[in-house]
Chains A and B, each alone.
Chain A
Amino acid sequence: MANQSGSIYGLTILSPIKDDPNAEISPSLAIRMYLQTLPVDGGGPFGRVSNTHMARLVVLDDVVYFGMPSCEEHLKSQYLIFESNFDGELEPYLTQLATEARDEVHNIWQHCIGYPGVQNVDAFIAYMKRCQVETTFYFADVNDKTVQQTLKALQTQSAVASFIEKNQGKRSEELQPAFVEFMRRLNSAPRPKPGSTKGKELTDELL
C-alpha cells in the first residue's frame, strides 16, 4: 500500500514556497537560512517528534532537463520538500509535529503558500494532506521496527557485546549468574533517547 510499509509511514510533502520579488530576503533563502541554524544532533525538532526514523527538508528551486532534444521546462514555484519515515498513522504524527515542534514548523512553513499556521491543528493537518504526494520508496535502514524497538536493539547489541567481551571463556557456574544479573539490569535500563549519540555511555553505565 502506498505511503505505508509494514508499520512504517512514508510521508512526502511538497509545499509551494511564496514568491516575493520585493522581499529583502527571499522566502526560499529565509527557509535555507533557518534550516542551517537547526541543531544536527539529538536536539533538533525530530528528536522531540520521537517516532521519526529519518526526516529531510530540502528546498527545490527548479528542475533541469538533461538530454536531447533539449526542452525547457520549469516548476510553477519553488517547493519545500519534507520527507519523513515514522511509526504509526499520519494524523497523529502531524498533530505531534504541530505541537512538539511547533516553533520550528512555523518558522519553516510560514514561507509556504497556503500555510494556515499551527494554532489550528486541524487546519494544519488539512494543509499538509493537500501538499502530500504518494510515497513508494523508504529509507532502506528502516526495517519495520519502531524507533523504540530499534534503539532498544542497538542498546542490547552493544551491551551484549560488552558482556561477552567481559565473560567469554568463563565456566558455566560463573557465567549463568552473571548473565541473569546482566539481563535484569538490561531490562530495567532506561532506553536511549531518540537522536541520542550516547549509546555507548549508556551501555557502560549499565555494566
Chain B
Amino acid sequence: MSKLDVTDIQGFALRGYNFPFARFHFLKISDKQKGRECIGGLVTYITTGERWDQGKPKTTVNVAFTYSGLVALGLPQPSLMTFPVEFVQGMKARGTILSDTGKNSPHHWDPVWHKEVHAWLGVFAQSQSDLERQCSGLLTLLQGSGGAESIGSQDAAALQINGQPTTKEHFGYTDGFGNPEYLGVEKDSQPGQGKLTADAKWTPLATGELLLEYADEAGELPVAPLPHLLANNGTFMVYRKLHQNVATFRKYLKDKGALYPGGADKLASKFVGRWRDGTPVELSPDKRSEEIVKDQNRNVNFTFGNDLDGARCPFGAHIRRTNPRDAFGFNGKLINRRRISRRGMPYGPYTPDDQPGSDDEEHGIIFMALNASLFRQFEFVQQEWIEYGNDTKQGNDKDLLLGNHGGSGKVMIQGSADPGNPPFLCGALPNFVELRGGDYFFVPSITALRMIAANAVDPR
C-alpha cells in the first residue's frame, strides 16, 4: 500500500505522544455557525501525524466529537444517519453490553458526563507551564468564537515517583508496553506488535483496523460515515475514566499474597501477565528482568502457544485476555480484528508503596483507545474478553484487574507442579477499577475538520 498522508491524520490517532502532562477539555457547542467557525480556528492548532524530525513540540492539540457534537455542529442529517449505531448511541447507552453496571453505572460518573459532552479537546505538554499556556490560548479562542465552551476538564499526568516522571500506573505496574503496528503507519518496528504470520513472524495489521476508508483484516472497508471524504483518515476513540481503588488493591494483594507461596509480588505478576517492572511473565516467570524490559526486541515479543495450560501466564491475566496473541490457536488469526491502539494516561498523585493508600482519593487512569470499529474492536474486547471468560475457557470469570466483579468474582491462577508456582484461586474479588465516565468520539481527519468548519459536508 502507499504511504499514508500523515499531514491529514490527527497525530493522536497514529502515535502515543509520551508527554508527561495532559488536559482533556470537554466542550459544548453552543451555536452551530459559530461552533463551526470555532472548529475552523482550531484546525491550525491540530497536531498531525507528521514526523518530529526537529524534536518534539512543547504541546500537542487534538480534537474529537461525540455524535451529539456532530449534531450540534449541524452536520446534514443524511450524513449523520450513516454513522455506526454504537457511536450514535454513545457509551452510556451501551452500558449493558459493556457491563458498565453497578458501581460502573452512569449514576456514579463525574458530573460532566451528566451533561451533553460534544467534543474532546486533548492537549499534551512537555511541562505544566506549557500545558497552562496552550490551554489558556485555546480557551481564549473558544471564548472569542462564541460557538463552543469548555464544560469540564480532566487533567492527567505521568506519575511522579521520587520527583521523577515514570511510566507507572497507580497499582505500581509499568504501563504502556506495546501497541499494534499498522501498514503504512511509520513507527519504530518492534517484534510482537502487529499480527502473527503462519511462519511465526510479526507483521503490521491492515491499516483499516485503525483508519477509516482503508482495507481492514477482512479485506473490507470498515463501516464509515458518508461522504467518504468525511470518514477518510478518521478513526473512532473510546474515552473511559477508570478510577483505581488503590487501598482495595493493596489490601487484596497483601492478604492473598500472604497465602500464595510465590509471594505478593509474584501474585501481582500473575494478575497482569507482567511483573510490576514490566517483565513479561511469559518470558520470565520467576523473577523480574530489567534486561528484558529494556530490550525492544523482547519486551513485547512473546506468544502463549507454548503455555496453553497457563502455567506461566494465567488465562485470566490482563495482557493475555486483552491481547491473546496465539492463545486461541490458528496462528493468532482470531484476534487480528480485535486489536485497539491504547493511549492511556494516569491522573492523580501516586501513593508511596509503603502506605495503604485510599479508595476515595481522585486517582486512576484515563483510558483512551482508537480503532476503526468501536463495535467490532473495543466493545468486543470489553464484553467478551474483559467481562466474560468463555474464549479463555474461564466460564463467567472476568479480567482480574478490570472486571466488574462486584465483590463476588473469582479468577483461577493456573500453576504447575513447582511448589513455588502452585495453582491459586483469587476469590471474593472486589472492583479494583471503577468507571467514572466517558464516551465514544469520532476523530476526523484535517480535511474532514475543514469540511465541518466550512459547512461543506455533503453526503449527496
Contact = CB atoms under 8 A, between A and B. Distances in A.
B247 interface: no
A169 B427 CA distance: 13
B302 interface: no
A161 B425 contact: yes
Nearest to B423: A164
Contacts of A161: 410, 412, 425, 427
A164 B395 contact: no
Contacts of B428: 165
A168 B425 contact: yes
Interface string B388-414: 000000010000000000000010100
Contacts of A132: none
Contacts of A164: 425, 427
B259 interface: yes
Q: Which of B410, B412, B425 has the most CB of A within 10 A?
A: B425
Interface of A: 157, 161-162, 164-165, 168-169
Contacts, number: 17
A164 B410 CA distance: 11
Complex A-B, nearest 3 residue pairs according to Cβ-Cβ distance, in ascending order: A165-B427, A169-B259, A164-B425
A168 B256 CA distance: 10
B424 A168 contact: yes
B410 A168 contact: no
B409 to A, nearest CB: 11
Contacts of A168: 259, 424-425
Nearest to A165: B427
A162 B426 CA distance: 10
B395 A162 contact: no
Interface centre among B258, B259, B427, B428 (most CB of A within 10 A): B427
A200 to B, nearest CB: 8
Given A164-B425, A165-B427, A165-B428, 9 more contacts: A161-B410, A161-B412, A161-B425, A164-B427, A165-B425, A168-B424, A168-B425, A169-B258, A169-B259
Interface string B413-432: 00000000000110110000
17 contacts: A157-B395, A161-B410, A161-B412, A161-B425, A161-B427, A162-B427, A164-B425, A164-B427, A165-B410, A165-B425, A165-B427, A165-B428, A168-B259, A168-B424, A168-B425, A169-B258, A169-B259
A110 B346 CA distance: 63
Interface in B123-156: none
